[in-house]
Amino acid sequence: MPALKPKFEFRKSQRITRRSLLFALGYCLILSTALSSCGQTKNNSQQSATSTGTESSSSTTEKQSNNQVVRIVRSKQLSALAVLEKQGSLEKRLEPLGFKVQWAEFAAGPQQLEALNANGLDIASTAESPPVFSQAAGAPLVYLSTTQPSGKSISLLVPVNSPIKTVADLKGKKVAFQKASIGHYLLVKALEGAGLKLSDVQSVFLAPADANAAFSQNKVDAWFIWEPFATRNEQKKVGRVLVDGGKLRDTGNFYSTSRQFYQAHPDVIKVFLEELEKAEIWTKDHPKEVAQLLAPVTQLDPPTLETMHSKYDYGLLPITEKVINKQQEVADKWYSLGLIPKKVNVRDGFLTPEEYAKITPSEVLANK
């Protein structure tokens, strides 16, 4: 753009008015600004083009991936998952991959899997039954890993002064539990062991917090629930354990994700499982340290948490045919009771052995 060189000649014979002088000066200022803007726009365009070219050369650049987040369920139990959150090691491992971690809290397993299916959660931790109900609803979940049973950490509570002495005494009574949870499943097994059916009791479907209130107010006769609710009620002398899941439970928990997240980010899942297994081992070997670490999370004092530690079995387990077959038994049980609308083929949610080999920690695979 050619430079503007306005010239103003003042002659004795020609007077210029104040208005025309101001107009001319303003016009020069506008042109000067325009020239500066053109140059700046050109420089910015060149910088933007260079930057865009660099960024588009790789779809996994740090700048692009820094905005990505993996949303993992928060555990408020005495679990390795809770330890993993407190230690912060997962965040450090995922940072080079451009991922940050968000910990999300849910009332129980069914709520987690609803969120998973609605793209509100990426990694869930539930017992065996919620995934079956989720699959029955058509959710494309993927089972990632399983755990030891830890049956003693789930208990059937009755009020401390209740006349109920055996499971058989529950006939006709109101029993609270989270629908489609481990409490629901173990109640079925406990009743069958006593020669009863689920229809022989009055099922009261309540989320843990609501069930806790109902139980403390004697609005229900029993409650099947996990830790730390059981221990809290025992400490307060509100409830006592009628039976725990030690001899009833023959399944572990499952970590699961959506099919979409697994296909998009197997590297993130691999890192998660590696760090989780490290946390499992550390948690198993450090009961005192774990108690101190998780006292604020569980709202229980460290000595109580140390006592609870013995109720848990720590360590991930690999997905095997035995695990898949057992999960199919769970699904068939729910279908036979008419509690899911269709027969579920749980294998639809499991990966191939080759796929599991790529994401499962080597020390866990060694347990096959």
Q: Write out pLDDT tens, residues 158-173.
A: 999 999 999 999 999 9
Cα dist from 260 to 64, 139, 289, 292, whole Å: 19, 11, 37, 37
Q: Is the pLDDT of residue 97 over 70?
A: yes
Give me the CATH topology for the region 152-244.
D-Maltodextrin-Binding Protein; domain 2 (3.40.190)
**Residue 19 pLDDT grade (very low, low, confident, very high; cuts 50, 70, 90):** very low
- With cut-offs at 50, 70 and 90, classify the pLDDT of residue 66: low
Where do the DSSP E strands lie in the chain?
Answer: 68-73, 99-104, 123-126, 141-147, 154-159, 174-177, 202-205, 222-226, 239-244, 254-258, 316-317
pLDDT at 205 over 70: yes
Write down the residue that tokens 């017992």 correspond to: 127
Least-confidence region, from 2-11, 314-323, 326-335: 2-11
Mean pLDDT across 99-106: 97
Quick one: pLDDT at residue 12?
Answer: 38
CB 193 within 8 A of CB 166: no
List Cβ<8 Å contacts ≥24 apart for 163-169.
164/221, 164/222, 164/242, 165/242, 166/194, 166/242, 167/191, 167/193, 167/194, 167/196, 167/242, 167/243, 168/194, 168/195, 168/196
- Between the two ends of the chain, the Cα-to-Cα distance in Å is 76
Q: Is 354 exposed, middle or buried (0-12, 13-18, 19+ CB in 10 A)?
A: exposed
The residue ranges of every structural domain in the chain are 63-148+252-365, 152-244
d(CA 242, CA 168): 11
CATH, range 63-148+252-365 = 3.40.190.10
pLDDT of residue 25: 37
Per-residue pLDDT, 20: 40
Round the average pLDDT of the chain to a whole number and report it. Answer: 86
Cα–Cα distance, 18 to 8 (Å, whole number): 13
The residue that leads in pLDDT, 197 or 7, is: 197
Task: Dump pLDDT digits (tens) for 249-298.
Answer: 999 999 999 999 999 999 999 999 999 999 999 999 999 999 999 999 99
Residue pair 272/72 in contact by the 8 Å Cβ criterion: yes
pLDDT exceeds cutoff 90 at 330: yes
One fold for 63-148+252-365 and 152-244 = yes
pTM of this prediction? 0.80
